Chain A
Amino acid sequence: MAGLMSRFTTLFKVKANKALDRAEDPGETLDYSYQKQLEMLQKVKRGVADVVTSKKRLQLQTAKLEESIVKLDGQARQALAANREDLARTALERKTLIQGQLQGLDAQIAQLEQQQQTLIDQERRLSAKVESFRTQKEVVKAQYSAAEAQVRIGEATTGLGEEMSDVGMALSRAQDKTEQMQARASAVNELVETGAIDDLTAPAGSDLDQQIAALTAGSQVDSELAKMKAELGAGAPAGELGAGAAAAEAAPTEEKAP
């Protein structure tokens, strides 16, 4: 088996050459190449800015999901106070599921943050290289004929093409990652929205509920139910729904930490 390096070098060079072929039309001047490079640099800058924005949006989404965990916990207490263990179970199952999804998202956001930092460094490096190309172009144009100048600056053009491909690959990697994460965050969000247990008299056991139940580890739910029952048994009486709701408003602080 050949090494990873040689394999990867081949793959990358093919990619970089393709990018270069597109930029090098016959009769193209050095000034035109430079124009194209500036356009690509602008695209990279926009791409990096988009990744930063997407990451911020994801952070907001996860913050909302954190809130929904607190809310579901309160709902479970409320349901239990109203002697609706089935609903309390559903709420806790949903809470467990969202908690699990959130942990994954947090780790991915941290990874994305690293990728973002790398991208910002790469963007800065690419800017410097494009500027260096501009200087070199002016020097050779002043000293040589157009055709000769093209040859003289050949290595610089290829080197810059490599840099562009490198940044381009990093950017599409980060974009793929944000898209996957956004899809996942939206799926969890949908779960929260369609699963809101606003009506305690609604029948339990819808398709969604069953799906969630299947996905969720029962043990955590059972233990949380037992814990809540114990707390309710010891403290607040299982009275009117209104009273239960008030207790739930007051109680969740102790349950906030995941």
Chain B
Amino acid sequence: MIVRILGKGQFRLDDNQLGRLNELDNAVAAAVAAGDAGGFARAFSDLIDMVETSGTPVADSDLVTSDHVLPHVDTTLEEAREAFAGEGAIPG
């Protein structure tokens, strides 16, 4: 699977990493729900680290679409909250 970190580009990860990825992602969501800025910063940096260390960067010459997209590494709790709340009715 291909995961894009905005600003950092795309990473190719083994499909069997999806479970771990979701686990870390749920921890991020829980911190957002709790409004816990410190917890969010930790969980989000764990998630980014996991993608960067377990994945390999997609070559510049490869033009592929991403399966998953993560926001910028310096995303704040406030911005994450907006991603959950904002944009109203997104189909799907």
Contact = CB atoms under 8 A, between A and B. Distances in A.
Given A4-B28, A173-B72, A155 B63 contact: yes
A5 B72 contact: no
B88 to A, nearest CB: 11
A158 B65 contact: yes
B75 to A, nearest CB: 9
A14 B74 CA distance: 22
6 contacts: A4-B80, A8-B71, A8-B83, A129-B60, A132-B60, A132-B61
A114 B8 CA distance: 12
A2 B80 CA distance: 13
Given A3-B28, A114-B74, A162-B66, A12 B22 contact: no
B90 to A, nearest CB: 5
B26 interface: yes
Nearest to A10: B90
Interface residues of A, number: 37
Interface of B: 4, 6-9, 21-22, 25-26, 28-30, 32-33, 44, 47, 60-72, 74, 80, 83-84, 87, 90, 92
Label chain A's interface by main secondary structure: helix
A7 to B, nearest CB: 6
Contacts of A158: 65
Nearest to B33: A1
Contacts, number: 96
B83 A166 contact: no
A114 B70 CA distance: 18
B74 A111 contact: yes
Contacts of B32: 1, 4
A46 interface: no
Interface string A162-173: 110010011001
Nearest to A132: B61
B30 A12 contact: no
A64 interface: no
A155 B65 CA distance: 7
A10 B92 contact: yes
Contacts of B28: 3-5
Interface string A35-46: 000000000000
A60 to B, nearest CB: 25
Given A1-B29, A1-B84, A170-B72, A128 B7 contact: no
Q: Which 10 residue pairs across A and B have the least CB separation, nearest first? A: A128-B60, A3-B25, A159-B63, A156-B63, A132-B61, A12-B69, A9-B69, A5-B25, A4-B28, A159-B64
Nearest to B23: A3
A1 B74 contact: no
Given A12-B6, A125-B60, 13 more contacts: A2-B29, A6-B25, A10-B90, A12-B69, A128-B60, A128-B61, A129-B60, A129-B61, A129-B63, A132-B60, A159-B64, A169-B6, A170-B7
Contacts of A53: none
